[in-house]
Amino acid sequence: MTEPAISIRNLTKVFPIPFSRQRVVAVHDLSLSVEPGQVYGLLGPNGSGKSTTMKVVLGLVPPTSGTTEIFGRSSSLVESREEVGFLPENPYFYKYLTGEETLRFFGKLCGLRDPLLRDRTRELLKLVSLEDAANRRLGGYSKGMLQRIGLAQALVQEPRLLVLDEPTAGVDPAGSREIRDLILQFKARGITVLLCSHLLGQVQEICDRIGILHRGRLVCEGRLEDLICVRNQTQLVLENASPAVLERIEAEISASGARLVEKSKPQTTLERFFLEVTK
Amino acid sequence: MNPASTAKSPSLPRHRMFSCARVGAIAANTLLELVRLKVFYFLLLFALLLVGLALFVMDFKVQEQFQMLKDVSLGAMSIFTWLLSVLATAMLLPKDIEDRTLYTILAKPVPRLEYLLGKLLGVLGLILISTAVMSVLFGALLFARQEIAIADAIRTAGSNLAAGARADIVREIHSQTFTWSLIPAVVAIYLKAALFAALTLLLSTFASSWIFTVVVAVAIYLIGNVEPMVRDYWMSEREVSAGAKIFLALVSLLFPDLQLFNLVDDIVAGNAIPLLLFAKTATLGAIYVLIYFGLAYFMFAKKEL
């Protein structure tokens, strides 16, 4: 049996308020599991406990109670981070480093040495399309470029798990699409992704499974298609159907006792339309 | 890349609980950060100070010239390195937390001990380079004044000076300029700055802002300079109980006796620094650095990010 990429069991995290008896329960009795190869969307409004959950999983914050594991190793162990790449929300890397220096620095932290490190750096710069900006300092990078170099550093040690906190926050539609395509590439390569995002449309496009947190509690969890489908309705999309064919179908529907709820032309998304126009 | 494989990448070395390479990477990056923040510009100030000093002392007697050069230069080195250590260290941790770079680093397989040690070593490297550059500038100035003084003395003594008398003049002036005692003085200056780097790092692990850290570090500096006088006065006035001794030891830990690191006065006065005194000063400095770093790690290990 394969071990889950992330296993969270009865996680509770309470933050005491300094100089007060009050406490903030950021996460309450959370249990969930992310299987290898899945893209898991952790959703929820601001303050719902998403970031805290990620920090506990990454060992940045200790849990008040409960356990978290990465590929079977407790998050409290530094070694568990060997398998993880993390991109925080709005990452500010060292502005004085160039793109290449940034990747080399994070590579060294993961134990990589030349010539492997040099090769990996080049490979990742190519992957995120930043070869031309490799020798520019990050202080001069755009928001989208910063997110891409962030993704590259997250991948530097070839992790099996990526934790991405709002990876497209503040990025324009074209940049956002590039990042989404990269995540889909990671998925195709079998990398497990834990994604936190407010962009529900994007989550819907790339996630296999989602969990929704509200006030620190997991209120809903499951396969995306199971959660959002309308169970008693069926959708047919026809191409080049003549009016006569449509008439026959409608008559058949009517005769069977079913009800035609909607008949319309499918629409493209505003994002696709925008990208088409600005290409 | 083959991220699809479920086994750990064979290209990655086995994780070590402590890795000098990781500490080295963080230290080198910290040093690079400080260098690219252009903190070395303050060395220009030091150089300007030396030029001004060289012009100022020209009207004094030779012996007074050398005393003033040593006194002011070593005093300035002490203040500059101290200031650099406090200001450079105070920003490191809060900036990494505020910018979230700390998250990205600690999300890699990097223990907090290595991160903190790397940061401290980076600052210590910066102070070492600064002290070395200032020492070279100071040495160059002293050498130039020494050569001028020798040339003046020989010219005053007359052109038909015997070789022995000439050698005596050179020896006499050399004894007032470059002496072995200068080395312990510079080492003590470095140790004091290192102590404050570790202390500032400790403060920054729990301070709410870097301004608070700097203010407290300055306060400790001031107290550390007057504390020995107050302590000596107190102890000379009354019988000291065991409880009072423990209290004094705690005060000494919180506020290091900075007079112990002040070897400049002896050197300016021309006194040799006994090896034992130097060894005690160096050991004390190293112990303070270790204690402050240990406390800093204790605080940082528990810190919720």
Q: List the domain boundaries for chain A.
A: 6-228, 243-277
CB count, 10 Å around CB of B217? 25
pLDDT along chain B (305 residues), means of 10: 42 71 94 84 84 80 81 88 92 87 91 95 94 90 84 77 76 76 86 94 89 91 84 73 77 79 73 80 91 94 83
How far A265 CA sits from the closest chain B CA (Å)? 39
* Cα A36 to Cα A33: distance, rounded to the nearest angstrom: 10
Residue of A86, A106, A189 with shortest CB distance to B3:
A189
How far A248 CA sits from the closest chain B CA (Å)? 49
SS3 label, residue A203: helix
* Cα A210 to Cα A225: distance, rounded to the nearest angstrom: 10
pLDDT tens for residues A14-56? 998 877 778 889 999 999 999 999 999 999 888 889 989 999 9
pLDDT tens for residues A65-75? 999 999 999 99
Q: Do A62 and B304 touch (CB under 8 A)?
A: yes
- Residue B72's pLDDT is 86
| Higher pLDDT, residue B6 or A149 | A149
Partners of B111 on chain A (C-beta within 8 Å) are 78
Nearest to B217 by CA among B126, B86, B91: B86
Q: Do A61 and B3 touch (CB under 8 A)?
A: no
- Distance of CA B258 to CAs A87, A139, A213, B176, Å? 45, 40, 55, 26
- Residue A176's pLDDT is 84
Q: Do A157 and B108 touch (CB under 8 A)?
A: yes
DSSP state of A80: G
Residue of A78, A92, A191 with shortest CB distance to B109:
A78
The contacts of residue B89 (CB under 8 Å, 6+ apart) are B119, B120, B123, B196, B197, B200, B201, B204
- Residue B126's pLDDT is 93
- Residue B14's pLDDT is 65
Asked if B2 is an interface residue toward chain A (Cβ–Cβ < 8 A), one would say yes
- For the residues A80-91, what does the mean pLDDT come to? 86
The contacts of residue B243 (CB under 8 Å, 6+ apart) are none
The residue in chain B having the minimum alpha-carbon distance to the alpha carbon of residue A123 is B1
Q: DSSP assignment of chain B, as one string?
A: --TT-SSPPTTSPPP-SS-HHHHHHHHHHHHHHHHHTTGGGHHHHHHHHHHHHHHHGGGS-HHHHHHHHHHHHHHHHHHHHHHHHHHHHHHHHHHHHHTTHHHHHHTSS--HHHHHHHHHHHHHHHHHHHHHHHHHHHHHHHHHHHHHHHHHHHHHH-TT--HHHHHHHHHHHHHHSS-TTHHHHHHHHHHHHHHHHHHHHHHHHH-SSHHHHHHHHHHHHHHHHHHHHHHHHHHHHSPPPHHHHHHHHHHHHHS--GGGG--HHHHHTTPPPPHHHHHHHHHHHHHHHHHHHHHHHHHHHH---
Substitution target in B104, B115, B206, B303 with the highest count of A β-carbons within 10 Å is B104
The least confident of A148-162, A196-210, B160-174 is B160-174
User: What superfamily in CATH does domain A6-228 come from?
Assistant: P-loop containing nucleotide triphosphate hydrolases (3.40.50.300)
Asked if B38 is an interface residue toward chain A (Cβ–Cβ < 8 A), one would say no
Residue of B5, B12, B33 with shortest CB distance to A96:
B33
| Window A:87-146, CB contacts with B under 8 Å | 87-94, 96-97, 105-106, 108-113, 116, 123
The residue in chain A having the minimum alpha-carbon distance to the alpha carbon of residue B98 is A92
* Cα A209 to Cα A98: distance, rounded to the nearest angstrom: 36
In residues, how long is chain A? 279
Give the H/E segment covering residue A202.
Answer: helix A200-206
SS3 label, residue A159: coil
* Cα B266 to Cα B67: distance, rounded to the nearest angstrom: 11
| Window A:206-235, CB contacts with B under 8 Å | none
Asked if B242 is an interface residue toward chain A (Cβ–Cβ < 8 A), one would say no
Q: What ipTM did this prediction achieve?
A: 0.81
How far B126 CA sits from the closest chain A CA (Å)? 17
pLDDT tens for residues B185-204? 889 899 999 999 999 999 99
How far B38 CA sits from the closest chain A CA (Å)? 11
The residue in chain A having the minimum alpha-carbon distance to the alpha carbon of residue B304 is A61
Substitution target in A61, A94, A120, A138 with the highest count of B β-carbons within 10 Å is A94
- Residue A192's pLDDT is 94
- For the residues A259-269, what does the mean pLDDT come to? 84
CB count, 10 Å around CB of A89? 18
Asked if B4 is an interface residue toward chain A (Cβ–Cβ < 8 A), one would say yes
Asked if A186 is an interface residue toward chain B (Cβ–Cβ < 8 A), one would say yes
- Residue B204's pLDDT is 93
Contacts 24+ apart (CB under 8 A), A243-248: none
Q: Do A109 and B13 touch (CB under 8 A)?
A: no
- Residue A160's pLDDT is 92
Task: Indicate the residue type of B172.
Answer: E
Q: Do B107 and A82 touch (CB under 8 A)?
A: no
DSSP state of A137: B
* Cα A79 to Cα A101: distance, rounded to the nearest angstrom: 24
Domain boundaries defined on chain B: 20-302
Nearest to A27 by CA among A59, A50, A60: A50
Instruction: Label residue A199 exposed, middle or buried (CB < 10 Å: 0-12, 13-18, 19+).
Output: middle
Residue of B6, B106, B111 with shortest CB distance to A160:
B6
The answer on pLDDT for A76 being more than 50 is yes
Top mean pLDDT of A115-124, A202-211, B154-163 is at: A115-124
- Residue B7's pLDDT is 41
Nearest to A117 by CA among A178, A82, A158: A158
Asked if B276 is an interface residue toward chain A (Cβ–Cβ < 8 A), one would say no
- Distance of CA A24 to CAs A28, A48, A65, A213, Å? 10, 11, 14, 16
Q: Do A94 and B29 touch (CB under 8 A)?
A: yes
Task: State the pLDDT confidence band at A269, using cuts at 50, 70 and 90.
Answer: confident
Question: How many alpha carbons fall within 13 Å on the CB side of residue B87?
Answer: 12
Asked if B33 is an interface residue toward chain A (Cβ–Cβ < 8 A), one would say yes
The contacts of residue B43 (CB under 8 Å, 6+ apart) are B130, B133, B134, B137
- Residue A227's pLDDT is 83
Partners of A86 on chain B (C-beta within 8 Å) are 103-104, 107
Partners of A84 on chain B (C-beta within 8 Å) are 107
- Residue A246's pLDDT is 92
The residue in chain A having the minimum alpha-carbon distance to the alpha carbon of residue B18 is A78
Six-digit token pair at A45?
């409004």
- Residue A226's pLDDT is 83
Percent of chain A residues past pLDDT 90, beyond the cut: 45
How far A87 CA sits from the closest chain B CA (Å)? 7
